[in-house]
Structure 1
């Protein structure tokens, strides 16, 4: 791919050496933004004002597969509502939204607390834990699985498919790997087979779960066809835990590397929501997204022509000094608001409330109950570029306090 900037190479984002800290490169990209590539058909920006404006612009389409380019595959499916515009997006999102209202999410707090307590009890006598396997992964996957109606015995079976699919969501322009794409498509196929079986079961034996609600909506003629139903199930399961796993892990890592912030959270448990918001800004679990231009789409002083693609470097925008003071500093007392970790506009993350609650409960328990936690370096990161988080996060401790 031909670059218009002689100093910035977008493919550097795929460099494994940058996995632990991509932010210096993202800063350079933000400062050079907007970057027009491929004769202006692809425009990259890391400026907060540009990203925010594009996410809300009426010419910014989520139907990337209609682009004149082969769009960077950053979403889960061309059929999921993440990759659709109104009216289809509105219809599908409306069907799912009842499971994520503030009232429903708030009612989940006791269950989330119960799961966190059980996870801590499992490792209490070991004196060490892998924050990923022992907390950050099992908590959100159990909650979203229970909401959907996925049996507990299938959680590990789905984990490998989810990781393979998440890896396939990385931008193609940074790592053109046909094998990776094939693995991701294979995982999608396995997910579809799995959910096809569950859907068939719910048609004859409905339960009190989200999957039954979606199947019932389809049966009442709400135009949710089989492909849409499958894509929605995969989206909810994968997006419902992959990003929250990274959010919790990134937050724990930031606290351990900034012990003054961990001390502040211990002293003031009311800062836990601020800790979640600061992590979303400082080290967001989703690093970038894209929009296709349906009509001319302005990106700062550059315009993406009809059919082109805008690449929005959310992680760079969240550290824009024009919006955030001392943006490279992790500060859980920072005034919340302004970050784009959950996107904006009509595609603002449907599960944001649930992710925030799961993170808050997990981080509060970690700060208040783990005695003298110590991070074991180096931290091993996932190969993912877009869905960023550690693959392992080993911590030793003196004890875990009881509830």
Structure 2
């Protein structure tokens, strides 16, 4: 019999415990404190305390570490640093299951914060209800389901009497949904391992990279005037329709996306990087030409495009040049050039397929779930800082990421069980079973 079978059997026998832990985590609301939500649902402390008790009970050594903004000031200009964030009642949780000898270690990481409830739920967003084999609640996919799988995998190994050569570490962080300062703090405190597995929802696919995301706003000025009168030349004081100028940019973005569809591809991404327009704001009154227009967009970039700080300054410059080039085609815009106001730069990371951890994760995960494909993540995960300090990092988690942040967010119990086995397989192969 395969030595690992006892661990898989333990997981099957404790399916109810797997589901129960996720329910407990959902029932401990942990909305990111930087977001607009009822204060009674904010802060990660309750959920972290729940998980700490769980880890303590099966023998992990645990501690809380509270991010210190002043101490992190040395990271200004780098990913995840936000000087105005506060961390009262918002600890990172660290846990360690000691190995028997000098084997390779692994960090299992996930973020405990969730986004606000939103609207149109048909289930209690913090109830953790089980209906037809699905667990509903805010964070079920993003990403308390993944956290449940990774810690249950560690418990299954410990409770089955399996001894490992290397350490298994757990690092559940705060603040991912508002920029990632929790993971920055975890790294800044010197927490390290030979590899890292992040359990964001991937639908059980194997994700060796995530893309970076730039949020920006193209600001275009026009000149107001009566919309019911013949327009005079702007040089004579006539009105200029900012909506019309905005349409120029929408068309130009569409053309640039066709170019990016060819030049910004990755072999493990199903979609190329694109500039996605999310909002268009213009106009003040039905009989007045719009004198101002704002186009809010989300643009992705590849790990190969990040700058020396791990951010997207090169792609920012590319987009700023694009805005200027469009302006050069129009006399009004030449004299009144639009500009971009930058909002967010969420970093990215990648583990290359010639890395031993990449190869081990693929082999070990497919032992349990042979249909798992290698597929990068189009959204941000916290892998950037792990990669930046030399820790190879992969992403695998339960649940469909399309359900992240949705009303009636859920994860299927069968996927929780499968993912727990996949992670256990990775841990046992990477850290090695001690004879």
Q: What TM-score, normalized to structure 1?
A: 0.26
Normalized per residue, the structure richer in strand is 2
Larger Rg: 2
TM-score (normalizing by structure 2): 0.24
